[in-house]
Chains A and B, each alone.
Chain A
Amino acid sequence: MHVRLRRIAASVSVLTLATALAACGGADDTIDGTAISGSSYDGPAVELSFWNGFTGADGAYFDSMVEDFNADNPNITVKTTTMEWADFYTKLPIAVRSGNGPDVAVMHMDQVSTQAAQGALTPLDGVATELGLQESDFAEAVWAGGLYQDARYGIPLDVHMHALYYNKGVLEAAGIDPDAPPTTGAELEANLETLKEQGVQGMWIDSSGWMRTWFVALDAQFGGQLYSDDGATVTWNDEAGVQALTWMSDLVTKGYSPANVGQDGYWKAFTTDQNAYVIGGIWEQSNPTFDAIEWGVAPLPAIGDDDVTWGSSHQFTATTQVEDDPDKLAAAAYFINSMSSDSIEWAKANQVPARASVRDSAEFQALPGMDVFGPLIDKTVLPQNFPGLPESQGELEDAINAVLLGEATPQDALDEAATAAQLIVTENKSKFGY
């Protein structure tokens, strides 16, 4: 397995090496006298501290990619530290400030601007130029997601998004064709009604904070977004938001889901043949509990006007720790480019590579499930990218919780949450100055 992975990695990097060289005119340019190259690192031996939050099955893939990189590059030693994302984002700015943080880090795109605004990250415009990275090789929103105040801080690695998972056994038992997944909200509801007649609650929903991601997808389907385009105003309590949350709470009130489902209870029900449909992320494809069932996955049906979905992107960043060390910066640039070009390996951990050149490869298209998820990159609504915005989303999660537990109506709960969140957004807008 390992040998095979490395052989593939090697062949892919030869390919991208050629493209990278072609892109930057075949010459290794310099920034401040330091050789920055996407194809090699010729400086003295350096050690790079690298942080990520891949605590799940995807972490093993990433570790093996880093191991391969270390083996191929004796003068760079990458030391990986993995921790929960929540800890990651709170520790990173403090650790970097004290010089004990990472030199290179992978983070979600909605954190890039927050971390950059806190002075943890170093701009990578020079690196991106030297590496010949071009917007045309990346999906537009993903490329823009690495920007903060017109400077580039993030080099996109992947995009991950929600789709509709369905349990074929449950559908078949109810006489529904398991190979014709619903493409509209009406079709989905017709199936849920059929299931209900057979005594099956077909689309469980819990009331955890994670339901925010379902809401974002549905809100976008009905034409809304969480904040105004300038990131200054909370807009989740508009008509689209109310429609989205109403649809979610209807799952309970119409009897398609039990009330008061425990956290992640919908997955437990799905993998024990009690639940037919779940909106879930691409990474769930490697969920080991799926082995017990027959399942399929399809794009989200158009429940609103448009069949868009929720998603985010992992981005490579370099911290201010490497700013004063040209060797480290050069090594970091080479490492980032190398990992980003090898993102076909990463795709096997169930992430859609951010680079079109990797997505277009036959190897990517042959990966299971990517026929569904690959094209979804153009249907994915990525988070709005302003520093401090994530702080205000706890209010939205509280509102969703209250509605799904039957404590409040969608309009009232979203209004109340928007009022509270607006205080946070306004304060952060002036604090971070955007």
Chain B
Amino acid sequence: MATSAPSRRAAARVVTAPVGQPSGNRPGRRSTPWLFLAPYLCFFGLFVLGPALFGLYVSLFDWHFTFPNRPFVGLDNYVKLFTPGTRDFEPFWRSMGATGTFTLLSVPLLVTLPLGVALLVNRPFRGRTAFRAIFFAPYVLGVAVVGVLWRFMLDTQHGIVNKLLGMVGLPDTTPWLQQLPWAWVSLVGATLWWTLGFNAIIYLAGLQAIPRDQYEAAELDGAGRWAQLRHVTLPGLRPVIVFIVMITVLASANLFGQSYIMTAGDPNGATRSAIMYMSETGLGQFRMGAASAMSYVLAVVLMVVSLLNFRFLAARRDDS
């Protein structure tokens, strides 16, 4: 949001300038902003809005991909999701719970640790660029690579992690991927390693946007390092933090690849995420109606969470 806010203002200037000119009555000027937006809107409509609306439509049918007969069932797919004893009730809400657990565990770490990293690599020191690159590097890997890599390293009997722990005299039989809570520790840890760099880069951009004179003024007022962090850096970063919390919650709620590859949803389905269950339902069993209804339920939950985030964090901004 730190990066998008100024550009939005710039865009607003471009759009309002001709309207403000008395001689600006060239034909088609009302369509000008739309023309600028057209390329984006085309793709947005084709790949986001269109499929989303189609999904809403599909969720009202017993929609089996390969069956010519796809009867209209109204809200039945939704009602079933809230009716105990139906096929999807227990596994769906269990998978929603798993996604919620992962989000609660991963978001605080993915919001705070990258800030620390960004503060560190924002200071001038030799090899700073190299460190920035190292922290960011895992992000360029695909989730399949990350998942397989960690699955090998975390293997209970043959993985390097337990081998190394054993060499320094620590327990070497930790079931990293088989048992709780270790499976969550592994999934959150791998995700942290993987995406920490991305959040850190955004923080870094935010830090560099804070005017230096604010720090100088604070220093003249006798503020130490800690006071500068609390009263200059954090308030200056607030819009960035709001943005990071929002995108991290959404990214964590989309957990799929890590648990699909590292734990396969084990133990006993405890790490099977909502997206995993939806893809199994829709793409594995072709029950697109039910799967679409599930994704709308997840979408509504995420909208509420995002609104709460925004309310909570934005309100605090007004106080100061």
Contacts and interface: CB of A to CB of B under 8 A. Distances in A.
10 contacts: A94-B66, A118-B286, A119-B67, A120-B66, A260-B173, A262-B154, A402-B268, A405-B266, A423-B86, A423-B87
A156 B266 CA distance: 35
Interface in B79-116: 86-87, 90-91
Nearest to B86: A423
A420 interface: yes
A260 B156 contact: yes
Contacts of B155: 262-263, 265, 268
B159 interface: yes
Interface residues of B, number: 31
Interface string B104-139: 000000000000000000000000000000000000
B196 interface: no
Contacts of A209: 264
A174 interface: no
B275 to A, nearest CB: 16
Contact of B156 (A265, A398, A420): A265
A401 interface: yes
A112 to B, nearest CB: 15
Interface in A391-421: 391, 394, 398-399, 401-402, 405, 407-408, 420
B269 A398 contact: yes
A118 B264 CA distance: 27
Contacts of A407: 267-268
Nearest to B64: A431
A260 B175 CA distance: 6
A207 B179 CA distance: 11
Given A93-B66, A262-B155, 18 more contacts: A97-B66, A207-B178, A207-B266, A209-B264, A258-B157, A260-B156, A260-B179, A261-B157, A262-B158, A262-B177, A262-B178, A263-B151, A263-B177, A391-B285, A398-B269, A401-B268, A405-B267, A424-B87
A406 B31 CA distance: 66
A420 B91 contact: yes
A209 B175 CA distance: 17
B22 interface: no
B187 to A, nearest CB: 15
Q: Main SS of the interface on chain A? A: helix
B178 A402 contact: no
A268 B177 CA distance: 17
A81 interface: no
Contacts of A401: 266-269
Contacts of B6: none
Nearest to B85: A423
Q: Main SS of the interface on chain B? A: loop
A427 B90 CA distance: 16
A208 interface: yes
A90 interface: yes
Contacts of B284: 90, 391
B65 interface: yes
B283 interface: yes
B156 A405 contact: no
B158 A265 contact: yes
A176 B91 CA distance: 47
Interface string B273-296: 000000010011110000000000
Interface in B49-67: 64-67
A262 B159 contact: yes
Interface of B: 64-68, 86-87, 90-91, 151, 154-159, 173, 175, 177-179, 264, 266-269, 280, 283-286
A262 B173 CA distance: 11
Contacts of B66: 93-94, 97, 118-120
Contacts of A265: 155-158
A405 B154 CA distance: 17
Nearest to A405: B267
Contacts of A133: none
A21 interface: no
A423 B87 CA distance: 6
A259 interface: yes
A408 B91 CA distance: 18
Nearest to B267: A405
Contacts of B269: 398, 401
A262 B267 contact: no
Contacts of B158: 262, 265, 268-269
Contacts of B157: 258, 261-262, 265, 268-269
Contact of B179 (A263, A398, A405, A408): A405
A94 B87 contact: no
Choose among B66, B67, B154 the residue with the greatest number of A CB atoms under 10 Å from its CB: B66
B175 A259 contact: yes
Contact of A261 (B64, B156, B264, B266): B156
A126 B307 CA distance: 62
Interface string A197-227: 0000000000111000000000000000000
A56 B272 CA distance: 27
Given A93-B65, A93-B66, A263 B87 contact: no
B65 A402 contact: no
Q: Which 8 A-B pairs have the closest CB atoms?
A: A260-B175, A262-B155, A118-B66, A402-B268, A260-B178, A423-B87, A93-B66, A262-B156
A21 B280 CA distance: 46
B87 A427 contact: yes
Contacts of A405: 175, 178-179, 266-268
Nearest to B281: A391
B147 to A, nearest CB: 12
A93 B285 CA distance: 11
Contacts of A119: 66-68
Contacts of B68: 119
Contacts of B286: 90, 93, 118
B90 A420 contact: yes
